[in-house]
Structures are given as structure tokens and as C-alpha cells.
Amino acid sequence: MARHLSKYNFSLKTEVIDGELITYKVIESPNNTYSYFTIDENNELVYIKGKYTSEKFVQRALAKYFLIAKKIKENNHFFKDSKKVTICGITYLVKTINSTSNKFEIINKTIFLHLTNVNRQYGVFQKACEFIAHKYMDKRISYWAKKMNAKVTKIIFKDIDSKFAYYTYPSGKVTFSFFVLAFDLDTIDYLIIHELSHYFHQNHSSLFWNKVAEFCPNYKNYEKTLKFQH
């Protein structure tokens, strides 16, 4: 999740994706070598335009990140002023408390953010979401790792803009974008299966997809919806 982008000058661009009109921000960034899409602290879709880009990339990436932005907005996910957030299918209220330290508490599906100043809200909120996510994801990944006989040594959540998740072979480390936490449980299961299948095949060959299909026969539906890119 890209922070502090709202302070930059931007233009608006409108395009049609799958019959739907999409408007997004464009920030010119000549110091960046490559162009990319991301989502800012207001949960708005942003295109960072660097030196190199292509129309094909824009169309493909726009479709993917529009889906992410839409899902994140639906769940108030990591919005800097969120009053509630849905993480791994469970909705939590979010309340802020003036404090002498920066920390969070979770009581009866309410996230209390103790803050020394409002500028610390995003970071503390993100840590709270990560804590909640581990409670669900650790168990779910352990379940699928055992079922698939795949190796998992560590589970990490990071600010990743380029992909939803990746599996590191042979270490067995699985890294997820914070974006994933906004998805429904079935989609999260698919992403887990997809990544753990890379324990057996470190590519997207037919053997890899056969492994995915073994545990998720309707994987093509998820691929079409997510427009998965690695």
C-alpha cells in the first residue's frame, strides 16, 4: 500500500475495462524507470508513470488493480481513516484513543488504536491488521501445507504492489501482499494453494497447473477474476 501519494500533483484518466468506466489518478514520475499501478492511502487507484511503459501493460495492470481497489474500498481496507475493516472475512470496528504510546488492542472485534499523534495511525493500524491476519492465515496455510505435503517455514505480510503473493523455494517462505487480506476466504484459499504449488514446480508449466487443479479444480475461475500475474 503506497502511502503519502495524495500530496503529489496528478491528472485523472478514464478508461473502459470489461464494459465498466474506470477513473484513476496519474502521477508523472520521470525518476522512476518503470511504470506501475498502486493504491494510495485514500484507497484510490494510482498509476505511477515512469520512463518506460506500454499500452499493453497499462490495460493488463489496470484491470488487476481496479479489482483490488474495488475490493479494498468495499472492506475499508487500510484506509487511513477507517472506522471498520474486514480482514479474512471478519469485520472489526476501529477506534482511536489518545495515548502516550503507539500500540493496538483487539477486544470483541474492535480494534483500539492507541496513538501519540494521528500521523502514527496508519502504521499502528497496519500492525493490528497483520496480527489479526496471522491468526487466520497461519492456521489455514498449515492446513493446506499438510494436505498438499508442501514445505512452509515462515509466513510474511508486506506492502507489495506487483503481485498478490510469492513462494520462496527452497526456503519455504510464503509472502503475501496486504491486499490479499481484503479478499473472501475462498479466494484466499486459492491464493494459498497457488503459492504452495510452487513448492513442487517453480514455474507456471502444465505440471504446476495440474498440481493447482488437484486441490482447486475450478482454479481457472479465480485466475480469470484475479487476472493473476507473477
Integer Cα distance of 97 and 103 in angstroms: 10
Q: Quick one: how far is CA 134 from the chain centroid?
A: 14
Integer Cα distance of 188 and 165 in angstroms: 10
Residue in 142, 140, 186, 126 with CA at minimum distance from that of residue 2 = 126
* Its pTM surpasses 0.85: no
As averages over each run of 10 residues, the pLDDT of the chain (230 residues) reads: 69 82 85 79 80 74 72 59 82 92 94 90 86 94 97 90 85 90 90 96 95 96 68
pLDDT given for residue 229 in this prediction? 45
Query: What CATH superfamily is the domain 85-226?
Result: Metalloproteases ("zincins"), catalytic domain (3.30.2010.10)
Q: Are 40 and 48 in contact (CB under 8 A)?
A: no
Per domain, the residue ranges of the chain are: 5-72, 85-226
pLDDT given for residue 29 in this prediction? 84
pLDDT given for residue 75 in this prediction? 56
For residue 150, the one-letter residue type is: A
Residue in 137, 218, 150 with CA at minimum distance from that of residue 181 = 137
Cell numbers given for 12 = 485523472
